[in-house]
Amino acid sequence: MGSQDLKDFKITGVVAAPFTPFDSDGELALEKIDPYIEHLLANGVKNVYICGTTGEGPSLTIDERKKVAEKWVKAADGRFKAIIVQVGSGNLKEVEELARHSEAIGADAISTIPTIFFKPANPKVIAEFLQKVSNAAPTIPLYYYHNPNMTGVNFSLESILNLCTNIKTLRGSKFTSENLYDLSRCILLSSDKYNLLYAVDEQILPSLTLGVKGGVGSTYNYLGKVVNRLLKAFDDGNIELARKEQVYIFIS
C-alpha cells in the first residue's frame, strides 16, 4: 500500500469482532470460519476485527494466531472491505512478528493493544511502542486498540494520539471505553487525521452523535442487520428508530 493509500485508508460502518472457533479438545476448528464468513456477509457485515478480545487473541499461541489470520484472509477472498488483525501480545518481539505476518498474508490493517503486564509508564512509551510496530509492517494501516478496562492502561487516548503524529501508518484507534468525553476530544482535535472506531456496542448511537462513522462489536456477529438499520436510521435523521435499534442491541 502506497503512502497516499495509507493516508486515505478509512473504515466505516459495521465491524464484527468474530469469535475464534475451537473443537471440544480445545484445538482450532478453522473449518468453521468458512460458514462464519457467509453468515456475516449475509447479515451486511463488511468488516471484521479478528484475534481481539472476543477472538481471544492474547490467549492463543503465535502459531494459532497466524493460522486464524491466514484462514480469514484466504476464505474471505476479498469479500470484506477490511480484515483487521489484532497483533497485540505480551512483548514487542511477538507483536512485530505478528504484524509482519499480517502484512505478508494480505490483511487490510493491523491493530494492537499496549503491553499489559509490564505496563507503559506514560503515553510517550505507548507512542514509541506504536512506532516500532509501524516500522515492522510499514505498508499496512495500524490502529491502536484503546481498551483501558481490560488492559489497565488508563491514559486518555487524546494524550496518546497527540504524541503519534509522526507515525505514518497509524490510521486511528479502536476505542473501547465508555469515556465519551475522551472520544469527543479525539474527534474534535484529530478527526481529519485519525479514523476512530467505537467499540462499546451498547453506546454506538451516542458515539454517532459525536461524529463516529463506524463501530466494532461482538454483538455484531449476530446483529449485523440491526446495527446497519441503526446506522441508516441515524443517517436519515430518524432518531426514534435509531433509539429502538440501540435498545435491541443492549437487551440481546
Residue 145 half-sphere exposure toward CB, CA atoms < 13 A: 29
Residue 169, pLDDT > 70, answer: yes
Query: What whole-number percentage of the chain has pLDDT above 70?
Result: 99
* Paired sense of beta strands 170-175 and 82-86, if any: unpaired
pLDDT of residue 7: 83
Contact between residue 215 and residue 227 where contact means Cβ atoms under 8 Å apart: yes
Structure confidence at residue 2 (pLDDT): 62
**Residue 176 predicted with pLDDT over 70:** yes
> CA quadruple 172, 233, 54, 40: dihedral positive or negative?
negative
Please report which helix (H) or strand (E) contains residue 195, including its range.
strand 195-198
- Check residue 172 and give left, alpha or beta (phi > 0: left; psi -120 to 50: alpha): left
For 131-147, write each residue's pLDDT tens digit: 999 999 999 999 999 99
Report d(CA 124, CA 115) in Å as an integer.
14
Task: Count CB atoms within 10 A of the CB of residue 105.
Answer: 16
- Catalytic positions, please? 145, 174
Phi and psi dihedrals of 80, rounded to 5? -90, 150
pLDDT tens per residue, range 23-45: 999 999 999 999 999 999 999 99
Reported as a single tens digit per residue, the pLDDT across 62-116 is: 999 999 999 999 999 999 999 999 999 999 999 999 999 999 999 999 999 999 9
17, 49 contact by CB (below 8 A): yes
pLDDT for position 1: 75
Q: Which of 171, 135, 130, 134 is nearest to 153 (CA)?
A: 130
Phi, psi of 172 (to 5 degrees): 160, -150
Nearest to 134 by CA among 103, 91, 179: 103
Per the structure block, which three cell numbers stand in for 211? Answer: 461524529
Helix, coil or strand: residue 184: helix
Write down the pTM of the prediction: 0.96
* pLDDT for residue 4: 59
The yes-or-no verdict on residue 199 having pLDDT over 70 is yes
Predicted local confidence at residue 134, as pLDDT = 98
190 or 92: which leads in pLDDT: 92
Query: 93 phi and psi, to 5 degrees?
Result: -60, -40
